[in-house]
Structure 1
Amino acid sequence: MIQAKRKVRGREAALSRAQIVAVAIDLLDRDGEEGLTFKALASQLATGPGAIYNHITSKNDLIAAAAGEIVAAVQRDGSACIDPQGSIRAFALGLFDAIDAHPWVGAVLTRMPGQPPLLRVLETLGQAVRALGVPVGNEWTATVAVFNYIVGVGGHNAANAQFARARALDRDEVLASLARAWSELDPAEYPFAHSIGTQLRTHDDRADFAAGIDFIIAGIVASASPATSP
């Protein structure tokens, strides 16, 4: 998604908020929220912490700005979709990919109510839900359902990927082992898990996510359609 080069400026160059945010994203991707400090920022920007405080008031402000930049990039990438269903799908998949590339984004979106990154997401989804003709009383519920699915599944996928990387696990080997274990379950006690065990070997997380979004969109569309008499 968005990357920054280390040591991006010299002391003689003017420091901008955009430069600070770009380097913050780089640090967050590499070291997580604990690794994002004003000392680390100052080192990467070849400046003093005081110059950073001229543009950023706090670490929370900086994290919110970094998440906002990621969300804005997703919005730009999906802006070509003109129909509401396509807009929801494109934006959802864009956020899924963004959370996969920047695992900290999902956590930020869930704990910063009222902050610009979350408002951007809800506004984008809410406008598309409204364009589907959802009754006014159901707009919030439908929008939040999509949002919760995105950050829930996206965050879970990113966490799994981080866990695997930290332990040098091979995804195919893990899925094969899980598939064998589920296939050996007692079909009387675990009929569902036993029956789909072999599917785990080849399942694709992003494709599963996209299928889930399509289910949700179909449900929203159905709820927006006028009831027909038998």
Structure 2
Amino acid sequence: MAKNTPRREQALTRERIIEASISLLDSRGESGLTFRALAEELSTGAGAIYWHVANKNDLMTAACDALVARTLEVPVIEAAPQDVIRAVALGMFDAINAHPWIGSALARAPWQSPIVRLLERLGQQVRAMGVAPAGQFAAVSALLSYILGVSGQNAANAQIGKELGGDREAILAQVAAAWSALDADAYPFTRSIAPQFREHDDRADFLAGIDLILRGMALPG
């Protein structure tokens, strides 16, 4: 009699592999994403997965690309270019905060699909704002660098906060107290912003930076 083998409820597809990878990355981190763990998650063999993805880097890029694509599903009809840029920026900020591994995945795949998606969406809006062609690439690069850099740093700060106990208010209060105690002659500015730092809102500050860039782009060249 032939030995019965477990049947997968769904056919193994690249999409299912990507969704399972996102789940593993979120729950176990980058080190937890292995083909063995993925095979167990999907009730299949590692060899079957290799039919759809070449290696771990390919897998992480695909998972990242899927999340970036979802983030960019922002309504653009009758929306001002500046508002679309703000929505895209905040969407990426929230996505990287929820999935901190996105930063690492983007670093492994410079100028591949996830970055190109962002480049295209931001570039269309920069062009719609009337930025001169000679300045469009610089403007988009500034936006892209700010969005990914600040979002990545925010996610890293959140991880550090978890390692320190997870009490954001207590951590900010501790830093603010340390800044307030700095030498007044050597660190006048840092001392002056200590109370503001204690109460600051990461998302609001992030958007304030986007608005600064947008205002700079609107200045006559």
Asked if these proteins are the same fold (TM beyond 0.5), I'd say yes
Q: How does 1:113-152 map to 2 (within 5 A)?
A: 113-152=110-149
C-alpha distance in 2, partners of 1:28/1:81?
36
Name the residue aligned to 1:174. Answer: 171
- Confirm or deny: 8 A CA contact 1:81 1:87 kept in the other structure: no
TM-score (norm 2): 0.92
Which of 96, 103, 106 is matched with 2:100 structurally?
Answer: 103
Which of 52, 58, 62 is matched with 2:59 structurally?
Answer: 62
Question: RMSD across aligned C-alpha pairs, in angstroms?
Answer: 1.7
Q: Between Structure 1 and Structure 2, how many residues are aligned?
A: 216
C-alpha distance in 2, partners of 1:100/1:145?
20
C-alpha distance in 1, partners of 2:44/2:160?
34
State, as a whole percentage, how many aligned pairs show the same letter.
51
Q: Rate the CA distance shift 1:57–1:140 in 2: closer, same or farther, 3 A.
A: same
Name the residue aligned to 2:47. Answer: 50
Which of 150, 158, 163 is matched with 1:161 structurally?
Answer: 158
The residue type paired with residue 221 of structure 1 is: A
The residue type paired with residue 165 of structure 1 is: K
Name the residue aligned to 1:217. Answer: 214
TM-score (norm 1): 0.88
- Secondary structure at the aligned position of 1:76 is classed as coil
Q: Does 1:40 align with 2:37?
A: yes
- Cα deviation, residue 60, structure 1: 1.4
Query: Cα deviations across residues 135-194 of structure 1 (Å, max 9, x unaligned)?
Result: 111111110100010111100000111122133241111111111121222222211111
Query: Cα deviations across residues 14-49 of structure 1 (Å, max 9, x unaligned)?
Result: 111111100101111122222111111100011111
Segments of 5+ residues of structure 1 without an aligned counterpart are 1-8
- Confirm or deny: 8 A CA contact 1:99 1:105 kept in the other structure: yes
